[in-house]
Structure 1
């Protein structure tokens, strides 16, 4: 995991590649194309790129119109504005009629860093997961992100993809990895506890596993890149075989991955569980790595949670 690439960077490159093989793809942005990296598509296909200005409701409404006309629109802006300012349009104009719109929102989570609390979306997954007909995806690295973009282009219906600003470790091998919507990935086996992570926290989970291994604790690591529809089978299997679950997300513990996993467990295989994530709070301006420490989102915090949950077995 030496190489680091931001998932937004992978998104931009994937769009440019996708545009070459699928003429139905159009891309819309809210005056942030250099940051969201949709500028990569704009350079290659200027006639299929539309800058909607700083008007996020219009961005989503226009994307809905493109979808109704048979195109495959990818609509991008920062996660805070996509899921916050444009929520009602997404709900009523995209998800209610189940239109084929792909909302790819960047700069999500606490690692937005210096932009501060107003730009750090920590509730976007919860908001999107609650809307009927919406698929919710949060890739762990650049390889997963690129393949996710191609996968959602083939899927017919609304999709929300969460992408990050900061460079993160590359976990997967592009030659062997295959992204499948709704299918979690067991990255490492383990019998003592299972760490179920999403997005950038997958890398932290892998690091936590190495730290635990030195203490004789075998932790299973699972990447849940699709929060909705969630892979119930892999979660239930982990619960039955390890007897203890820790979730890890760069998101509020309310409504995101932790909540989604808890819902599966309580109805199918209740076991002790701990959630690593922001604890019902807003973020603040700061360096991403320092914020990760302050808000409890590091491998060390996952290790602590695993040790605590094992005591409850």
Structure 2
């Protein structure tokens, strides 16, 4: 079993200990000089019989030790348990999110994009040994997060997703699928899936071709269509809605027919995303059917906090310091525990 500090930077505060000792010695000497101005040590001892010579030293020492222990607690002492290798088996999934302006439509609450992000976050939470990557696309596409098992980073990158990430507007699903196909790791036989979330307003027309190419590589293409076929206006954030050149409000409609065709070409499934969690459950079930592959071994390390014992000692020292008085206790002056017998 090994030992470590989680926050060792706080240990630099231990330099306060010798500094306080030097300051205390300096003030003690100044105090001694002031006392000498009043008379001889014998006279002062007679004038102040209750003053203890050593109690202040003991109290200061206890405070110093307590301060050192408090600093150690801040540094979080931990013991490290022996590591245990575990086999990791899962799938690889590249999640491609449409971040075109039409995804700001609110026919799905709170918006198409926010609903998509929430669904992905819940999906990531359920992953255990799988690898995931994030791609954002509109008129262009780029990798937001390379394929990884770091779910914490995945959620952080997910929070930052916004239409402002891509200046080129539009919805180039084919480009997103092409980028996703080339974003998988090459060293595994695990099942591979592209989970593409969009409202289906494709302006390029090569999405089905790319989906068939992905299927030929053994990659399943799941299309999640978010929104309503009835359509919804696109808010601009200032209370206004997007309008066309003629001044008419633009209605963004979910193109379910195109989404189904892309999913069929990619040997996958089309799933409609609405205000319920049905799409999330269906996607989870489909992913559960996929072949899992081994990614090697995961070495897990357990850290156990050890500050409790130090805290108990600290509390005991502070109690003792509070009990000890600067002056001698008159009731105990006649108690001579260490007096020699004649």
Query: What TM-score range do you get, normalising by the shorter chain?
Result: 0.3 to 0.5
Q: Which has the higher contact order (CA 8 A, sep 6+)?
A: 2
| Larger-gyration structure (1/2) | 2
Instruction: Tell me the TM-score normalised to structure 1 length.
Output: 0.35
Instruction: Tell me the TM-score normalised to structure 2 length.
Output: 0.33
